[in-house]
Amino acid sequence: MKFKLPLIIEANVLHKHLGDDKLVIIDLSIPQVYKEGHIPGAIHLSYPSIVHAHDNVDCDIPPDNKLSEALSKIGLLPEHKIVAYDSQHNPMACRLLWTLEELGFQHGNLSILNGGWHAWKECGLPIEESPNTLPESGFFAKQSCNVNARREYIESRIGDSDVVILDTRMIEEFTNELLICDRGGNIPGAIHFDWENNVNTEDAFRFHSDEVLLENFAKLGVVPEKEIIIYCQTHFRSAHTYWVLRHLGFRNIRGYASGYSEWGNAEDTPIENEAIEA
């Protein structure tokens, strides 16, 4: 592949580069959707293979050996240029890209397909049904801890005026009207931003323009000068917003892989909007 991948790539641009050397397209849709049709050359990656459930946590980043196994199995190599997508507006694909960034993949080698599978089909571009595979690669995963915020790190940042904690769940989760964990509510001081506000539902779920996105975030005080810590229940909705902010030029940003599934199931974490027993 002779050009630097943008963090967000359009379907028609990707189509022109199908078959390029080093380009690997990864589909994170459910297996049945992939089987029924996918981008020519795309390989399938099972989303559960890149998340780790343990204790009361639904979605932690797996240990290095498990990530090595999952990514080696699909033939991934550090020199590959990765375009990811899924059929559910790209949160799972963005979680993969966030994971690869944590493993040291560089911008210029990572991209999300704008609008995902919906946009590809809307453009009337070629579709294939036969599965694609690469030889197992022996990929070795080593986490950097550069973009993953652990619980202790977040607790140390609560109340810091230079930090914005961004909650990308539904408003009902944020306000504890919808209880998914043992303890509902939100991380203290968190600002709410529904992740679906990133996309235009009338335009194949493509991202809004940079101008609209920047304006929406600025209204909330989410600006590049701040450190941004971003979370949802399981860090796939928040990974989607993480990738948007990366695209917009934010550099000091971390995602919370364990998400509110850890925070809200712990007995000793500080919480706002928690229900008070009568």
- Report the predicted TM-score, pTM, of the whole model to 2 decimal places: 0.96
Name residue 255's beta-bridge partners: 148, 230
Instruction: Decide: 1 and 81 in contact? Cβ < 8 Å.
Output: yes
Q: What angle do the packed helices 237-247 and 91-102 form, to 10 degrees?
A: 70
Q: What is the dihedral of CA 150, 156, 157, 159, to 10 degrees?
A: 140
pLDDT in tens, 165-202: 999 999 999 999 999 999 999 999 999 999 999 999 99
- For 149-177, b where at least 16 C-beta lie within 10 A, e where not — what string? beeeebeebeeeeebbbbbbbbeebbebe
* pLDDT of amino acid 2: 64
* pLDDT of amino acid 275: 63
Domain with CATH 3.40.250.10 in the chain: 8-122, 151-263
- Residue range 151-263 in CATH 3.40.250.10: yes
- Is the model's pLDDT at 3 over the cut of 50? yes
Q: Which SS3 state, helix, strand or coil, does residue 43 take?
A: strand
Q: Please provide the DSSP assignment of 94-144 as one string.
A: HHHHHHHHHTTPPTTSEEEETTHHHHHHHTT---B-S--------------
What distance in Å separates the CA atoms of residue 231 and residue 211, rounded to the nearest whole number? 23
pLDDT in tens, 86-130: 999 999 999 999 999 999 999 999 999 999 999 999 999 999 999
* pLDDT of amino acid 1: 53
* pLDDT of amino acid 277: 44
Instruction: Decide: 16 and 23 in contact? Cβ < 8 Å.
Output: no
Instruction: Decide: 231 and 257 in contact? Cβ < 8 Å.
Output: no
Q: 8-122 adopts what CATH topology? A: Oxidized Rhodanese; domain 1 (3.40.250)
